[in-house]
Structure 1
């Protein structure tokens, strides 16, 4: 799934770059024949919103990695000498990195499903007369249940693991930071 995600991202970036004035002529001549529509690269509100969400989500995740420091891993684990991290974004919500993931995923959908995107204009998968938001919501409706389930299962597993490892310290943190993803909501 991540491979497809990044291939689409690279295709969108190449299409937008080749349509811009910044693209050197030689590269433009290589890429342009692969593009089916002249509107690729046109900036739209959906594309801008998507870019902002991807950047915001990426920066939030990088900040989380930095705050976690040596305790960051992609695998759920407690390391020797592990300390409970409760500062930075972890003082606002307990799972801020997942907020970043959601921002990135929604932003990518907005970018890739924009009516002027390479995927929409060149692939023939989507009619161009539909609204970008409709396409994004349709994809979210299909993808969100599975992605959400996986994310919530992992969050629960993290909480169980942290409570087991840190006990009262973790419970005190949960009292101070009761929300997992969105302050005041969840």
Structure 2
């Protein structure tokens, strides 16, 4: 087995792991009424850009090798680092879903009887799911042996993150007021003690 093939297989396993973790929460979320949402054209565009970078481009590349001119032969150490990032991303992803439970939403939604989650992994980070996605994008850059498709996750998710974080935090402050302002003062956004 070559490092390129190993990286591609690991990327596929990461996507499968992501789906297995998310699916039950997505099913449950559909049963809970949304009281307020910030979905709209801007959110749809952000999600599409992120999905293109973290799903479509690397998926096409892994399946077909396209774009061929951007392919390269990775090193085993690179695949090893990618595997570590992949495992870390999936562990973080699972912890965020477990902590959010019924409050989970794929988009900017406030659900019926929504509560501010400040326990579990949310004790130190306001947006650990974004931390998980950044780590997933890093894993993709290391695992997918294509300069364009590999780095597309960082660009795609980065676009979602930087254009969504402000509206999301404003929505949380509007919903939870002083409780959210206090929580924001005690926590980092995505990296403990850094940002």
Could you state the TM-score of these two structures normalised by the residue count of structure 2? 0.60
Q: Which portions of structure 1, spanning 4 or more consecutive aligned residues, are displaced by more than 4 angstroms?
A: 7-12, 142-146
Q: Write out per-residue CA displacement over residues 45-101 of structure 1, whole angstroms, 9 at most, x where no aligned residue.
A: 100110110111111011101110011111211111110001111111111111111
Q: Cα RMSD (Å) of the superposition?
A: 2.8
How many residue pairs match? The answer is 135
Of 153, 160, 163, the residue aligned with 1:150 is: 160
2:85 corresponds to: 53
Give the alignment of 1:1-186 within 5 angstroms: 1=52, 2-8=55-61, 44-113=76-145, 135=147, 140=151, 144=154, 147-177=157-187, 179-186=188-195
TM-aligned CA distance change 1:69 to 1:174, over 3 Å: same
TM-aligned CA distance change 1:8 to 1:89, over 3 Å: farther
Structure 2 gap segments, 5+ residues each: 1-51, 66-72
- Which has the larger share of helix? 2
1:43, CA displacement in angstroms? 7.3
1:160, CA displacement in angstroms? 0.5
Higher RCO, 1 vs 2 (CA within 8 Å, ≥6 residues apart): 2
Larger Rg: 1
Could you state the TM-score of these two structures normalised by the residue count of structure 1? 0.63
1:139, CA displacement in angstroms? 6.1
